[in-house]
Amino acid sequence: MKHLPRASALSAAAVTLLALAACSTTAPSAEGGGGSDDVATGNGVTDSEITIGMLTDLSGPFAAGAAVQVTETQAYWDQVNADGGVCGRDVTVDVQDHGYDPQRAVTLYRSMAPDVIALQQVLGGPTSSAVLPLAEQDDVYVGGVGWAGSALAYPNNQLPGASNAVQAANAVDYMLDELGVAEGSSIGVVYFAGDYGGDSLAGAEHAAEERGVEIVAQEITSQTTDLSAQASALAQADVAGVVLAAAPTQFASLAGVLSSQGADVPIIGMNPTFNPSLLTTPAADALLANAYSITSISPYANTDAPGVQAANDLYAEADPDGAVGWEVPLAYVQAELLKQALDGACESGDLTPEGVVAALGESSSVDTEGLLPDGLDYSNAGQSPTTTVFISKVSADADAGLELLDQVSGPSAESFSYGG
Amino acid sequence: MSPPLLTVEHLDVVYDGTITALSDVSLTVGEGQVVAVLGSNGAGKTSLLRAVSRALDSYGGSVTGGTVRFAGEDLAGLDTAAVVRRGLVQVPEGRRVFRDLTVAENLRAGGYTVRDAAARAEARDRVFDLFPILAERRDQPGGLLSGGQQQMLAMGRALMVSPRLLLLDEPSLGLAPLLVDQIGEIVTEINRQGTAVLLIEQNAVMGLRVADAASVLEIGRVTASGPAAELAASDEVQERYLGVAVPVVATEVVGSEPAIPTAEPPQRLRVEGLTVRFGGITALSEVSFTVEPGTVHALIGPNGAGKSTLVNVLGGAYRATEGAVHYGDAELTALPAHRVAGLGVARTFQNISLALEDTVEDNLLVGRHRLMRAGVLSGAFRSPRARREEREHRETVAGIAELLGIGALLRTPVHTLAYGDRKRVEMGRALAARPSLLLLDEPVAGMTHGESQEMAETIRQVRRDLGLSIVLVEHDMPFVMGLAEQVTVLDFGKKIAEGTPAAVQRDPEVLRAYLGAAAA
Amino acid sequence: MSYLLEQVLNGLSYGLVLSLIAAGFAIVFTSTGVLNFAHGSVVLLGAYLVAVLHPTIGFWPAVLVGMAGSAVTGVLINAVLVRNLADRKPDTAAILMLGVDIVLLTELTRRIGNQVLTLGAPWGASVVRFGDVSLPTGRVLAAGVTVVAFAGLWYLFSRTDLGVGMRAAAADGPTASLMGIRLSRTAATGWALAGVLAAVAGVFLTSFPAPGVAPTVALSAFAAIPAWVLGGFDSVPGAVVGGLVIGLTSALVTGYEAELEPFLGTGFGEVAPYVVMIVVLLVRPSGLLGSKEAVRV
């Protein structure tokens, strides 16, 4: 993904058009502008335009992060369009706000479905759980619903990287392999009630069994902002490390309290648990000392990866004052994944919702220029597309506060399987 | 001569923009005077006080005409707090002490507007002088005081602002005669210490005794006014409010056949050794008496004597701790409430409990419920049988309404009725069940003498025409004396006397415990 | 043993913070009869003001502004919305408050974004050690401040004219107004007091061991609702007792989750306060210290 100046983008588009016209075996119609070719089309596709949907939360609890993703997604597709679009067509994103309300998400999906070829994103656990089954019936691609294993049950869903269980299994592996946690010791798991936390706990429990450690589980909700009692209980159980499947508030509180109680143990947070603003809180020192983050997606500061660099540049141009964080590469790669699926559908001559889902199911080795681990396999329905995750250390020097340490795929992550 | 302390001129008060409560009311209270306003329920007495204390707003009322001047100043535009600061304070009806606040805190709240600590301490000392019992119980919650003490506290609370004019709303309501006398003396004493008093009273005897001047208010208008002594001597006031003109006539025992016979003839009601305890409190202790079929039997006694408890046992609402009540052969105390109704026993309540939005007829039909034979289904499908039955019920109810003098009001919603008529509707509802024994719980509470005389006539007629037994619970002594064949007197849960009204009236025990100083 | 003591102290100090919020619920309820479901976002507002202002004016002045801001917000909600309600029914007001909560929370969420704003509290992440038990300094301070706050409330309600007037107005508004007590003033005082308590609670809820101000703070304020209800809707002492009971319960259930798990399963710590509330209400329907008829009509 190169970033092209406007003039060259235009000429590239012209070349593509010429090439398409030249290669075409049937006589192209005389309609101007769009790519008219021999692909079958369906909902959301005209001769000149492809419409994709995005159900996000612009007025609810996730409004801030969602806005970053909307900006980046728009910028991505604008660039694609500038480079010639997909299958000779411009891609338009229909962004709707469900406000984290499942009822509204379903209504919006119903009214949107006839006019879109795929859903770029349905943000939020309860909202995506409500929409996924409907989209499966309609055979509509859905991306960007997070990493809960429960979403893998839907063949129309594309998970951006390793699922929560795989992340948590990797966290346990990493503690034993790299952070000096000994076999036979205890590892705490603090998790949100629900799909996200439940899936993470399952992965950690699987790894614990594989690796011979004990799990000390503590269930919390997003209302729990003070983890004193949980931290005391973990310290009392003498845990050698903690896996956290919660949110940034809980990450900071847990790290701070554990450190104040003298429990100097590593804490590994799952995907969305870190936020750069945590480094301004009183827990900053504790986080810098002991906190790690495991993500399915490359951290913002990993600019060695060309994909991340491209994503960051695009965002910096689209919104120079915007908040930076893990949402930037995430939105970019989600759009990239959808683009590859659309390209696949185009190639097989079936630019319909069903065609996109089929293209997704056939993609067994997807690369995203370092944004996600290479070789994502979406052909094995029901399983995580990869067992590889990014492990980062909280760092005051890195952009967005996370410094990439490694990409890992631990033994228990590899042996983990859903439904088995 | 300086202007009067309070001048009310041509005052009109309207509630909710439509309901007129007062029209063209004028009166004055001079410095150092006690002025009484007499009148029955709904005459507009309380509205008058609220207009003066500027408290109408919160009840949805407003002054639409006329003026209220206090010490020469027009009170229009001031709020209650401003009026209180000028030395005009109202004691609300029903005492309304702050039950969870201690006596001392109640007084403190009363003195809320007084910023000068010395003035406040002085006022409190004066209150404690006037009511030593309040000083004694200063740290107890107001809710623990007896009714009379609460009235004292309510007055003391108002005196905390050292008012120039005290507005008293029904200070004697619900108090035993002995206490009423005491309250009267206190009003006189407060007045003697330099506070003018505007007193609202239903109890005209008390009002006229303590007042220098009085006005009679009827349906929002002043119908008579003048010096108290003059009013007390007028025929109209004597007849309507003092009960002097109507001689007490003992009812002749009914021998004639009832005009509309009850479904079943009345039976003998025997109460034997009845004791009721609530927790550690004994409300009734070994009470026994007998009500002969077809008679009116009165239960009297001061507040808290156990009268209502007794009615509740007879109606099946309370269980007896010991003893038994038999109605004919059935043991009433062994039955649940709905079975008691099945025996032909019906009751009214002390506080009217009617469906206010419904018509008189609908309220009366509720009383027929027990006698409705058609099932829910045939009722729902309006089968011929159900329709015939419904017509019969409506005819019966109409007959009862006629008998009670509310026949013309059948289609009228209850909430528009006057107090006395509501009491009649309630009695009608009880009668609609065609009982052979009717329990009346304080049927004339809150009525003027004139109204209660009318009610007495109604009760006589009911008994005559329907041929049933009536148990009457009342603390209005003259009312009972003109109506009942037998009287049982209760005090502190015990029976202290029994006999004919004439005999009971002479019983020294009754005079001492119940009738108080006024009768002695 | 020291573990038990630590959990108990943790629970009690957290419970005291909850009781500040619960007392705010109770005071608004008694002074205006409103179930103030917007209280959670007022707590968040107080903390938010401190977080935003402390870099420029310093922590302590920011706390004062936060208290004032929450108090003024409460007074305005009452003056503009509650007093002008056409029908003065408690249920209508409660639903109105839910609406206010949504508006306030949405705006604060928009402003905070996905950040966790630090409060800049000078006690930072320090802890105080008593023997082998350690407690966050913020918690020790919270306990101290709360005790002082409740002593102040006790003094206000039993020793000052204003406080006695407020209780009188709560007990019987029309009668109190006949004594010259202006109900609009006692109501405004009640809302202001609740706002101040909310801001103080907000400061302690968002400083260490919690990391900072995030929108979820408004939700954690709702943890005070069982404390308020079980104390008895209309009782400030009840709110204190309720807060302590709830704080202790959740700390102990969480702290001994491993031991309790065979009976209760995991995650019971979050449910335990509500279970305690329901059990208490079954035994004492008007709460621990509430008056018999708490709901005013």
How far apart are alpha carbons B204 and B451 in whole angstroms? 13
Chains A and B lie in contact, requiring 3 or more CB pairs less than 8 Å apart: no
User: Coil, helix or strand for A121?
Assistant: strand
Neighbours of A262 (CB within 10 A): 10
Distance from CA of C146 to the nearest CA of B (A): 25
Asked whether residue C297 carries a pLDDT value surpassing 50, the answer given is: no
Residue A248: closest C-alpha in chain C = C116
User: Domain-by-domain residue ranges, chain A?
Assistant: 2-161+300-380, 164-295+391-415
For residue C273, name the pLDDT band (cuts at 50, 70, 90).
confident
How far apart are alpha carbons B256 and B238 in whole angstroms? 34
A280/C contact by beta carbon, under 8 A: yes
State the pairing for strand pair A90-97/B88-91: unpaired
Distance from CA of B83 to the nearest CA of C (A): 8
Kind plus residue range of the DSSP H or E element containing B63: strand B61-70
What are the residues facing B275 on neighbouring strands? Answer: B322
Mean pLDDT of C79-105: 84
Chains B and C lie in contact, requiring 3 or more CB pairs less than 8 Å apart: yes
Contact residues for B57 (Cβ-Cβ < 8 A; gap 6+): B79
* Residue numbers of chain A with a pLDDT score lower than 50: 1-36
pLDDT digits (tens, 9 = 90+) for A45-104: 998 999 999 999 887 777 778 888 999 999 999 999 999 999 899 999 999 998 888 899
Establish whether domains A2-161+300-380 and A164-295+391-415 are of one fold: yes
DSSP string, C180-247: T--HHHHHHHHHHHHHHHHHHHHHHHHSTTS-SB-THHHHHHTTHHHHHHHH-TT-HHHHHHHHHHHH
DSSP string, A169-225: HHHHHHHHHTS-PPTT-EEEEEEESSHHHHHHHHHHHHHHHHHT-EEEEEEE-TT--
State the CATH class of domain A164-295+391-415: alpha beta
Q: Say how far residue C61 (Cα) sits from the centre of its chain.
A: 22
pLDDT of residue A11: 46
- Strands of B159-231, DSSP E: 165-169, 196-201, 213-218, 221-227
Determine the residue among C178, C184, C236, C292 to mutate to test chain B binding: the one whose Cβ has the most chain B Cβ atoms within 10 Å.
C178
Q: Measured between alpha carbons, how far is residue A163 from residues A119, A146, A379, A388, C215 in Å?
A: 19, 8, 15, 10, 27
Residue C115: closest C-alpha in chain A = A277
Two structure tokens written together for A217: 């589980």
Residue C3: closest C-alpha in chain A = A236
**Contact residues on chain A for C118, CB-CB shorter than 8 A:** 277, 280-282
Q: What is the pTM of this model?
A: 0.75
Nearest by CB to B113, which of C164, C171, C180?
A: C180
Whether the CB-CB separation of A193 and A247 falls below 8 Å is answered with: no
Residue A278: closest C-alpha in chain C = C116
Distance from CA of A80 to the nearest CA of C (A): 29
C223/A contact by beta carbon, under 8 A: yes
Two structure tokens written together for B400: 């009862």
Nearest by CB to A281, which of C112, C212, C256?
A: C212
**Angle (nearest 5°) at CA B404 between B403 and B409:** 105
Which of B34, B153, B159 shows the shortest CA–CA distance to B87? Answer: B159
pLDDT of residue B512: 63
Whether the CB-CB separation of C31 and C183 falls below 8 Å is answered with: no
For residue C92, name the pLDDT band (cuts at 50, 70, 90).
confident
Mean pLDDT of C195-207: 93
Contact residues for C251 (Cβ-Cβ < 8 A; gap 6+): A228, A229, C7, C8, C10, C11, C14
* Residue numbers of chain B with a pLDDT score lower than 70: 1-2, 41-42, 174, 176-177, 238-263, 279-281, 302-304, 350-352, 370-382, 446, 475-477, 511-520
What are the residues facing A294 on neighbouring strands? Answer: A391
Whether the CB-CB separation of B216 and B222 falls below 8 Å is answered with: yes
User: Coil, helix or strand for B227?
Assistant: strand
Local structure of residue B512 (DSSP, 8 states)? I
Q: Can you say whether residue B473 is alpha, beta or left, with left for phi > 0 and alpha for psi between -120 and 50 degrees? A: beta
pLDDT of residue A28: 36
How far apart are alpha carbons B170 and B149 in whole angstroms? 15
Kind plus residue range of the DSSP H or E element containing A41: strand A40-41
pLDDT digits (tens, 9 = 90+) for C98-138: 999 989 988 888 888 778 888 888 888 888 888 778 888 98
pLDDT of residue A354: 92
Whether the CB-CB separation of B354 and B426 falls below 8 Å is answered with: yes
Nearest by CB to C6, which of A227, A232, A278?
A: A232
What are the residues facing B330 on neighbouring strands? Answer: B327
**Helices C236-255, C224-231: inter-axial angle, 10-degree rounding:** 130
A412/C contact by beta carbon, under 8 A: no
Whether the CB-CB separation of B10 and B34 falls below 8 Å is answered with: no
pLDDT of residue A214: 92
Q: Which chains would you list as touching C if contact means 3+ CB atom pairs under 8 Å?
A: A, B
Two structure tokens written together for B444: 């004339």
Whether the CB-CB separation of C73 and C84 falls below 8 Å is answered with: no
pLDDT digits (tens, 9 = 90+) for B83-135: 999 999 999 887 888 988 999 999 999 999 988 889 999 999 999 999 999 99
pLDDT of residue C50: 95
Q: Which chains would you list as touching A if contact means 3+ CB atom pairs under 8 Å?
A: C
> Which amino acid belongs to residue A18?
L
Determine the residue among C114, C126, C271, C274 to mutate to test chain A binding: the one whose Cβ has the most chain A Cβ atoms within 10 Å.
C114
Two structure tokens written together for A30: 């005389």
Determine the residue among A57, A225, A319 to mutate to test chain C binding: the one whose Cβ has the most chain C Cβ atoms within 10 Å.
A225
The count of CB pairs under 8 A between chains B and C is 77
Which of A374, A373, A405 shows the shortest CA–CA distance to A389? Answer: A373
pLDDT of residue A122: 93
How far apart are alpha carbons A27 and A32 in whole angstroms? 14
Distance from CA of C8 to the nearest CA of A (A): 10
CATH superfamily of A2-161+300-380: Response regulator (3.40.50.2300)
Mean pLDDT of chain C: 86
> Which amino acid belongs to residue C190?
G
How far apart are alpha carbons B92 and B80 in whole angstroms? 13
Two structure tokens written together for A175: 């503690």
> Which amino acid belongs to residue A374?
D
Contact residues for B169 (Cβ-Cβ < 8 A; gap 6+): B45, B46, B49, B90, B91, B92, B93, B200
